[in-house]
Amino acid sequence: MSVVPHSSETVTARVPVPRLSPEGHDPQSTVRVPVTGPLRRLLVWYGVASLGVYLALGAVNSVLLPLQVEAVDPAQKAANLAIVTAVGAVGGMVAQPIAGLLSDRTRSRWGRRAPWIFTGALLAAGAMVVLGGMTGLVGIGALYLLVMVSLNIYFSPKAAVMPDRVPRGVRGLFSASGGLGVLVGITGGMGLGAVLSGTPAVGYSVLAVVIVLAAGGFALFNPDHDNRGEPRPPLQWTAFLRTFWVSPRQHPDFAWGFLGRLLTLTGYYITTTFQLYVLQDHIGLGDDAVDAIPLISVVSLLSTLVSTVVGGPLSDRMGRRKPVAVAAGLLIAAGLVAPWVMPTMTGIIVFAVLAGLGFGSYLAVDQALLTEVLPTTEDNGRYLGVLNIAVTLPQALAPAIAGLIVSVLSYAALFPIAMVVAVAGALAVLPIRSVR
Residue 400 has pLDDT above 50, yes or no: yes
* Cβ neighbours, 10 Å, residue 142: 18
pLDDT tens digits, 134-171: 888 999 999 999 999 999 899 888 888 888 888 888 88
Query: Roughly what angle, to the nearest 10 degrees, separates helices 114-131 and 77-104?
Result: 160
How does residue 393 score in pLDDT terms, banded at 50, 70 and 90?
confident
Q: Which residues contact 24 (CB under 8 A, 6 or more apart)?
A: 38, 39
Q: What is the third-level CATH fold of 37-225+242-428?
A: Growth Hormone; Chain: A; (1.20.1250)
* Cβ neighbours, 10 Å, residue 226: 13
Name the residue type at position 208. A
- Alpha carbons 246 and 420: distance in angstroms, whole number: 27
Sign of CA dihedral 139, 145, 150, 154: positive
pLDDT tens digits, 193-231: 888 888 888 889 999 999 999 999 999 999 998 888 888
On whether the CB atoms of residues 335 and 355 are closer than 8 A, the answer is yes
Domain ranges, ordered by start, for the chain: 37-225+242-428
Q: How many percent of the chain have pLDDT more than 90?
A: 16
pLDDT tens digits, 355-364: 888 887 787 7
* Cβ neighbours, 10 Å, residue 166: 27
- Alpha carbons 107 and 404: distance in angstroms, whole number: 46
On whether the CB atoms of residues 317 and 373 are closer than 8 A, the answer is no
On whether the CB atoms of residues 105 and 233 are closer than 8 A, the answer is yes
Closest CA to 52 of 165, 218, 167: 218
Burial of 41 (0-12, 13-18, 19+ CB in 10 A): middle
For 410, list phi and psi in degrees, rounded to 5.
-170, 170
Judged by DSSP in three states, 319 sits in: coil
